[in-house]
Amino acid sequence: MKDICPACEKETDVELIRTKESIKVQAEPIEIDVEYLKCSSCGEKFENPESDQDPLDEAFREYRRRHGMIQPEEIKTFRKRYGLTQRELNTLLGWGGATLSRYENGALQDETHEKILRLIMDPGNLQKMIDRTPNALSDEKRRHLIKELQAEAEDAYTLERIYEERFGNYEVDEYSGYRKLDLDKLFNAILFFSKEGVLKTKLNKLLFYADFKHFKEYAVSITGARYARVPFGPAPDKFAHYFATLADYGQIHIEEVVFTDEIVGEKFITEKKPELSVFSDSELKIMLMVKEFFNEYSSKKITDFSHEEKGFKETLNGKLISYAFAEELQI
């Protein structure tokens, strides 16, 4: 192929080189796949103008993934969810004017700011911050947001917090897709995939493929759910607890489906409209893609398809499937 070499300052034959490069982030080496062009005349290496790759951004993203840190799109999604401008959230956090913008555009947050972001993403803590910083928002917006947060806190207690108290939680690691379990996203993903009605076996696979596909593309899962190898394919670990909780609170309806005298299944139908605002653009994109990809698949067909996944084949029955297998995902 030909391109203009910046060293020779003329059009010449160039070679596309794909290799790995180690970038240090906070003194930690992060290996990233990179590509560049090499001039056949002078041997000079230079960036491929047709590539939109940003190695530093990828290194930062991988570093955040390894350390369970918040990704830029999560910050933006949180802010937009509550209708806050960058200036308003900066004021609530007590940060300089450009700080939040830098983080939303890919700059790596420091440890202190990471902890503050984690804290304020809790509805109760956000409400306290609004109470302590009355001048950050207009009176009307302040009253509206406090009302919304109070209602959200009540819903969270009756559903998510009770669930966590009953069944516990787990740490961020390779089995959760390097994300803390987010019950809000998990429950709404279940509601999303059950909107037109779906058999339990297929629902389990849709959740698996959504989380693993997002990890494959963005280095972090959507829900933080762990998945285990069970006879009918990958399924959320202790999935019966999730479904029972949603059924108990009237958010999904479960119908019995009789296939034969000996085989009976369960069909899940959404009773409450899913809150899609809890998901980032990339998460919604992946969920829609997964739903469309498997739209015509029966429970048996998607089960057979999932049995061909490397993560399923190389995981013992009943054991958790590592998100590291997402690289080998068939979709």
Query: Per residue in 81-105, pLDDT tens?
Result: 899 999 999 999 999 889 999 999 9
Does residue 158 carry a pLDDT above 60? no
Backbone angles phi and psi of 228, in degrees to 5: -115, 155
SS3 139: helix
8 Å CB contact between 130 and 92: yes
Going by pLDDT thresholds of 50, 70 and 90, the confidence category of residue 192 is very high
Region of poorest pLDDT, from 118-122, 151-155, 178-182, 284-288: 151-155
Residue the block writes with tokens 């109070």 = 150
Look at residues 66, 89, 65, 68 and name the one whose alpha carbon lies nearest to residue 77: 89
Whether 52 has a pLDDT exceeding 80, the answer reads: no
Please state, in angstroms and rounded to a whole number, the distance separating the CA atoms of residues 246 and 17: 51
Structure tokens at 56: 């530093």
Q: What is the largest CA-CA distance in the chain?
A: 78
Torsion angles phi and psi, residue 235, rounded to 5: -150, 150
Distances (CA, A) of 319 to 157, 190, 197, 233, 323: 31, 22, 29, 12, 13
- CB-based contacts of 154, cutoff 8 Å, min separation 6: none
Q: How high is the mean pLDDT of the chain?
A: 88
Cβ(76)–Cβ(85) under 8 Å? Answer: no
User: CA 76 to CA 79: how far, in whole Å?
Assistant: 5
How far apart CA 246 and CA 249 sit, in angstroms, is 5
Specify the pLDDT at position 259.
66
Distance CA 198, CA 191 (A): 10
Q: 175 pLDDT exceeds 80?
A: yes
The mean per-residue pLDDT over the stretch 169-174 comes to 78
CB atoms within 10 A of CB 26: 11
Q: b/e per residue, 53-69, with b = 16+ CB within 10 A?
A: eebeebbbbbbbbeebb
258 vs 72: CA distance, rounded Å: 46
Q: Which of 195, 217, 169 is nearest to 326 (CA)?
A: 217
Banded model confidence at residue 307, pLDDT cuts 50, 70, 90: very high
Q: How far apart are CA 116 and CA 177, in angstroms?
A: 22
Query: 51: how many CB neighbours lie within 10 A of its CB?
Result: 12
Q: How far is CA 122 from the centre of its chain?
A: 17
pLDDT at 299 over 80: yes
Residues in the chain: 331
pTM: 0.62
